[in-house]
């Protein structure tokens, strides 16, 4: 059974760095053709793909936020971490991790973690 | 990368069909068959219902079908059921190792 769960702070201040952890089970990120993504959804707005890390440690980022994002993995802990610097109130959103590579779609998602950016 | 455009809402009575469009630029869809669709019930994690334009994951009923033509993709839900009432999002591979989602469509079962 594949599960993913996001964890991290619910509230961050402007200019701070957000660190979110995705802990997953039911698959190994060291297995070929496995990938984990981060996707966010601001309240009342559309989904936005942020980043992806592949089994071979290749990393991809959405162009508009690339300077602020870092994705990494710890295969021994079955975790993927997203780091987002210089947080702003417009970054308030539910942040979700999801499994999937280019063609397969995002087939399993976590429940999401609401992050509010406010002073 | 701008979001793909979807109608804000769509509706139909039980048993009827509803089709949701997803439009973008030629760069969004050209040459790519990596279009997927997601069903989102309030407070729940998104569910993959279509991938690679028209393929259904195991367990998704064949009432859900997808297609793509030119700069547009579409999702059709046939035989509407109460549980189909949800938000639906398209997603496409946009090149340069990026993905782009649609603006989302709220489907209401009348």
Reported as a single tens digit per residue, the pLDDT across A57-76 is: 999 999 999 999 999 999 99
Would you state the pLDDT for residue A103? 77
Pairwise CB contact (< 8 Å): A49 & B99:
yes
Q: With CB atoms and an 8 Å threshold, state whether A47 touches B89.
A: yes
User: Residue B26's pLDDT band (boundaries 50, 70, 90)?
Assistant: low
Q: For residue B24, what pLDDT is reported?
A: 83
Report the 10 Å Cβ neighbour count for B105. 20
- Residue B9 corresponds to which tokens in the numbers above? 């809402």
From residue A73, alpha-carbon distances to A5, A98, A104, B25 in Å are 14, 14, 20, 34
* C-alpha span between B92 and B71 (Å, rounded): 11
B90/chain A closest Cα distance in angstroms: 10
List pLDDT tens digits, range A16-27: 999 999 999 999
Structure tokens at B76: 């059709």
Cβ-contact B105, B87 below 8 angstroms: yes
> Cα(A115)–Cα(A82) distance, rounded to whole angstroms?
13
pLDDT, tens only, B34-92: 899 999 998 899 999 999 999 999 999 999 999 998 888 999 999 999 999 999 999 99
The CA-based dihedral angle spanning residues B102, B82, A98, B7, taken in that order and rounded to the nearest 10 degrees: 0
pLDDT at B61: 96
Residue A103 and residue B34: Cβ atoms within 8 Å? yes
DSSP state of B17: -
pLDDT at A41 over 90: yes
Contact between A103 and B57 using a beta-carbon 8 Å cutoff: no
Q: What are phi and psi of B18, to 5 degrees?
A: -135, 140
Give A70-118 pLDDT, tens digit per residue: 999 999 999 999 999 999 999 999 999 999 987 789 999 999 999 999 9
Q: What are phi and psi of B29, to 5 degrees?
A: -115, -20
A contacts of B98 (beta carbons < 8 Å): 49, 60, 62-63
Is the pLDDT confidence value at B27 over 90? no
């Amino acid at each position: 059974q594949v599960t993913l769960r996001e964890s991290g702070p619910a509230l961050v201040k402007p200019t701070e760095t957000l660190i979110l952890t995705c802990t997953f089970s039911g698959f190994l990120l060291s297995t070929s053709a496995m990938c984990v993504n981060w996707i966010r959804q601001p309240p009342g707005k559309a989904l936005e793909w942020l980043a992806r890390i592949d089994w071979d440690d290749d990393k991809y980022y959405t162009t508009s936020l690339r300077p602020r994002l870092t994705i990494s993995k710890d295969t021994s802990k079955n975790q993927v971490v997203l780091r987002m610097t210089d947080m702003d109130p417009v970054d308030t959103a539910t942040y979700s991790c999801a499994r999937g590579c280019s063609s397969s779609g995002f087939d399993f998602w976590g429940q999401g973690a609401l992050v509010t950016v406010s002073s | 990368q701008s979001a793909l455009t979807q109608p804000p809402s769509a509706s139909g009575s039980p048993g009827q069909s509803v089709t949701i469009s997803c439009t973008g630029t030629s760069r969004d869809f050209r040459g790519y068959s990596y279009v997927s669709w997601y069903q989102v019930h309030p407070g729940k994690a998104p569910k993959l219902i279509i991938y690679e334009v028209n393929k259904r994951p195991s367990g998704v009923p064949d009432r859900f079908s997808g297609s793509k033509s030119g700069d547009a993709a579409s999702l059709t839900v046939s035989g509407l059921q109460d549980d189909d009432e949800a938000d639906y999002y398209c997603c496409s591979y946009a090149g340069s190792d990026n993905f782009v989602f649609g603006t989302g469509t709220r489907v209401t079962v009348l």
